[in-house]
Structure 1
Amino acid sequence: MKVIGLTGGIACGKSTVSCILKELGAAIIDADEIARQIIKPGRPALGSIIDTFGDEYLRIDGGLDRKKLGDLVFSQPEALKLLNSIVHPAIVEEIKNTIIRLKGCTKYKAIVVDAALLIETGLTELVDEVWVVSVPYDIQLSRLKKRNNLTFKEARDRIESQMADSERLKYTDKIIDNSKSMEDTREQVLKLWHESIL
């Protein structure tokens, strides 16, 4: 079973492409969802985060204050590096285990690892092809500001904390331009699906 790594910068439309691929019969491994699971109360990663950054990043209910921690790490590169050193190994391990489990399942036509940091975390070693969802910077910035209700600076800091699209494209096998209509994106995904999977 083919394993596709789906990546792209924040607010480029990976989730949209992921939904289309799911409709086509792919099993989706969502790295963001795994990241949310591993920082739940009682999980070791949450304890490590609080030990490193302090109790002020805990909500009253015992969960992680993701917004507050996000404001810190997206404005301080060293803090982001520290956070990543805690969560990335746990996320990668969970993704590896999920791929192994899904490869034994005949109901799916492909496995898609949907991960913004696919390249940075070395997950490219686990996939057969890398598909990048791409949009021009100004569209990405506009979408992120609107989607997350961010200021220009907050949105820019989040985008610039990730690998630049020009660098990301060096690792890609297929590119999906998500700057036009939903129909246009769907057509591109269908074409790639037929070329790569069927």
Structure 2
Amino acid sequence: MYLIGLTGSIGSGKSTVAKMLIERNIPVVDADFYARKVVEPGKPAWKKIKANFGEDVFKENGELDRTRLGQIIFEDKAKRRLLNEITHPEIYKEIFKVCVLHFFQGRPYVVLDLPLLFEHGALVGYMHKIIVVTCERDQQIQRLRSRDNMDEASAVLRVQSQWSMEEKAKRANFVIDNAGTVDETKEQVEKMMAIIEDDNFHIRIRVCIAVAAGLICGFFYFVFLSS
């Protein structure tokens, strides 16, 4: 099994592409889902956020106020870095567990939906292929304003906090242009998946794992049992 990274700047429509992949019965691991899960009340990351950011970023029921925290970290790089240091290790643990499960289910590959794949960089080296979803910058800002009900200045600030789509596209194996219609995006996804599904890289990985396991078993047999 190998890993495919799916990323794109905020408002580019990455979730639309992820949904199209899910509809094809492709396993997609959503990092945002686990980002919410690891900060549930009482979790280790939740406790660390409380200790470092104070009570102001929490609601009365103890849940993390993501809107309030988002305003703080997007205006302060040092605090954004601190939050990443708190949450990312916990998120990666959850993603690893899910990937192991898919491996034992015999999946040839898993798509990791990672909004900040390049910005954080920790998982880039583990990706066999990377998909970047793009659109026009004006579309990006407008989608963000409509989706999150924010003013233009706030939307621009969010966009500027990430790498540009041009920089991400340079590092991609596949670029999906989501500036057009849903059908146009879907057509690009279909062509991309035809290429990916022709790749037998996962077979080579499983053969290597089988050979390595055989060598280890053989070693232990001759060292500990043959005598």
1:114 aligns with 2:118: no
CA distance, structure 2, for counterparts of residue 97 and residue 172 of structure 1: 26
1:34-183 to 2 correspondence within 5 Å? 34-106=34-106, 108=107, 110-121=109-120, 122-183=122-183
* Cα displacement (A) at 1:165: 1.6
Q: Aligned AA for 2:40?
A: K
CA distance, structure 1, for counterparts of residue 164 and residue 92 of structure 2: 21
Larger fraction in helix? 2
Q: Aligned AA for 1:174?
A: F
| Structure 1 residue aligned with 2:23 | 23
CA distance, structure 1, for counterparts of residue 103 and residue 118 of structure 2: 22
CA distance, structure 1, for counterparts of residue 98 and residue 118 of structure 2: 18
Partner-residue secondary structure (3-state), 2:42? coil
CA distance, structure 2, for counterparts of residue 66 and residue 74 of structure 1: 12
CA distance, structure 2, for counterparts of residue 160 and residue 72 of structure 1: 15
After TM superposition, the structure 1 stretch with the greater mean CA deviation from structure 2, 78-87 or 183-192, is 78-87
User: In the TM superposition, what whole-angstrom CA distance separates every residue of 1:110-155 from its partner, at most 9, and x where no partner exists?
Assistant: 3110011112332122221000001111110011011110101111
* Cα displacement (A) at 1:81: 1.4
* Cα displacement (A) at 1:109: 5.5
Q: Tell whether the 8 Å contact from 1:9 to 1:134 is kept in structure 2 after alignment.
A: yes
| Structure 2 residue aligned with 1:12 | 12
Q: Aligned AA for 1:194?
A: A
* Cα displacement (A) at 1:84: 1.1
Q: Tell whether the 8 Å contact from 1:134 to 1:179 is kept in structure 2 after alignment.
A: yes
Q: Aligned AA for 1:32?
A: D
Q: Tell whether the 8 Å contact from 1:135 to 1:177 is kept in structure 2 after alignment.
A: yes
Structure 2 unpaired stretches of 5+: 199-227
Runs of 4+ in structure 1 displaced over 2 angstroms? Answer: none
Partner-residue secondary structure (3-state), 2:119? coil
Partner-residue secondary structure (3-state), 1:120? helix
Q: Are residues 126 and 93 of structure 1, via their aligned partners in 2, closer, same or farther at CA, if it must alter by over 3 Å?
A: farther
After TM superposition, the structure 1 stretch with the greater mean CA deviation from structure 2, 161-170 or 14-23, is 161-170
- Structure number with greater Rg is 2
Structure 1 unpaired stretches of 5+: none
* Cα displacement (A) at 1:41: 0.5
Identity of aligned residues (%): 36
After TM superposition, the structure 1 stretch with the greater mean CA deviation from structure 2, 8-17 or 93-102, is 93-102
Q: Tell whether the 8 Å contact from 1:25 to 1:110 is kept in structure 2 after alignment.
A: no
* Cα displacement (A) at 1:96: 2.2
CA distance, structure 1, for counterparts of residue 43 and residue 197 of structure 2: 36
